[in-house]
Amino acid sequence: MSACLRIALILVSLWANVSCAADTYEGNPAAARLMDELVQSEGFDRQQLERVFAAAERKGDILEAIARPAEKTKPWYEYRQIFLTDKREAEGEAFFREHRETLERAERETGVPAAMIVAIIGVETFYGRITGSYRVIDALSTLAFDYPKRSDFFTQELKHFLVLTREQGVDPLVPKGSYAGAMGYGQFMPSSYRSYAVDFDGDDVTDIWNNPVDAIGSVANYFKAHSWRPGGPVVSAATVADGVGEEWFVRSRKDLVPTFTLAEFAAAGIVPADDLDPQSLAIAMDFELEKGREYWLGLHNFYVITRYNHSAMYAMSVYQLSERIAGRVGQ
């Protein structure tokens, strides 16, 4: 082999190693500012933080994923097929029966139906089986420092994550979650973990990563904290008169807050199928089917489900899965 060829091969090898090297946040100005804040306000050790961000990797596929959420690309008749399946119902029944005592205690203490708790965990992680494969530090760093549209939000979540892992005694480079940094059975963001997760089995550790008992209690506590009304209605099917304008229906996450009464909807031509208090506040939804549309009115408890994920289709999927699971276990 000639000397020139050997040099060329060495240069190619060096280029390949450089091109495959991880793109980390070591020296990133925004990361440096966050480190300053954590040192000053939370008493973190600067060198430990530098170690973390030197290992935190920018993930291009995370940026791609957050730009194309399922709700923006799928109509209702396709979206619901992700969650409303025989397999998810059957595994929901099995999860319910395995954890019945814990679920019933959570329902007694919070007023949140056991089947609703199971449905949330079922939709989020298939009952704890699919909790995410991204390192949380990579996901939150990528979105905090390279996703300007929601940089402020994810920077705060990254801060909460670092505080949380210190509180839990966990290496921040270890936990894994979704591409958005959500964690555990119920896919709590770090701020929600710190605010709503509970030690439901009394072992002095709040663990929704690995402990289904804590996860069940934490989901129930989240709903209670967001003012779930025990025994209250969630949705009602509706009939819609000809000529009702689109302005009456949910078109964005801003429209999820109930502002009109059922009486006002009825006067406009959107009439609930159920006998409900006409002064109850609600939202109106129209979902695309393969042929035609279906219409629903969502009440206060439906709004509470949307606090978990700001999506009408998500909340309807959770509700309908909960109803199917309740039917399977005789509730």
Could you confirm whether 107 is annotated as catalytic? no
Condensed to tens digits (0 to 9), the pLDDT of residues 149-163 reads: 999 999 999 999 999
How far, in Å, CA of 93 to CA of 322, rounded? Answer: 10
Residue 116 confidence (pLDDT): 98
Residue 16 confidence (pLDDT): 39
Q: What percent of the chain has pLDDT over 70?
A: 92
How far, in Å, CA of 257 to CA of 283, rounded? Answer: 7
pLDDT at 1 over 90: no
Report, at the CATH architecture level, how domain 30-66+130-225 is classified. Orthogonal Bundle (1.10)
| CB-count burial class (<10 Å; 0-12, 13-18, 19+) for 76 | buried
Mean pLDDT in residue range 242-262: 96
Q: Which residue, among 235, 215, 239, has the nearest Cα to 117 in the 3D structure? A: 215
How far, in Å, CA of 289 to CA of 135, rounded? Answer: 37
Which of 10 and 231 is assigned the larger pLDDT?
Answer: 231
Residue 67 confidence (pLDDT): 87
Other C-beta atoms closer than 10 Å to the C-beta of 79 total 20
**In which residue are the tokens 């609703």 written?**
116
Q: What percent of the chain has pLDDT over 90?
A: 90
Structural contact between residues 26 and 145, judged by C-beta atoms closer than 8 angstroms: no
Of residues 89, 107, 124, 157, which has the active-site annotation?
124
Condensed to tens digits (0 to 9), the pLDDT of residues 5-45 reads: 454 444 434 433 433 347 999 999 999 999 999 999 999 99
Can you name the residues that pair with 295 across neighbouring β-strands? 286
Which of 57 and 9 is assigned the larger pLDDT?
Answer: 57
Q: Which residue, among 194, 215, 214, 212, has the nearest Cα to 203 in the 3D structure? A: 214
Structure tokens at 82: 């992700």
Q: To the nearest whole number, what is the mean pLDDT of the chain?
A: 93
Alpha helices in 74-113 (DSSP H): 76-83, 86-98, 100-110
**Residue 71 confidence class, pLDDT cut points 50, 70, 90:** low
Find the range with the poorest average confidence among 17-21, 44-48, 256-260.
Answer: 17-21
**Residue 68 confidence class, pLDDT cut points 50, 70, 90:** confident
How far, in Å, CA of 196 to CA of 164, rounded? Answer: 12
Residue 10 confidence (pLDDT): 42
Domain boundaries, the chain: 30-66+130-225, 235-298
Structural contact between residues 273 and 236, judged by C-beta atoms closer than 8 angstroms: yes
Structure tokens at 53: 């961000």
How far, in Å, CA of 72 to CA of 253, rounded? Answer: 12
* Strand extents, DSSP E, the chain: 134-135, 176-177, 235-240, 260-261, 270-272, 281-288, 293-298
Q: Phi and psi dihedrals of 277, rounded to 5?
A: -60, 120
Residue 331 confidence (pLDDT): 78
**Residue 69 confidence class, pLDDT cut points 50, 70, 90:** low
Find the range with the poorest average confidence among 51-55, 69-73, 152-156.
Answer: 69-73
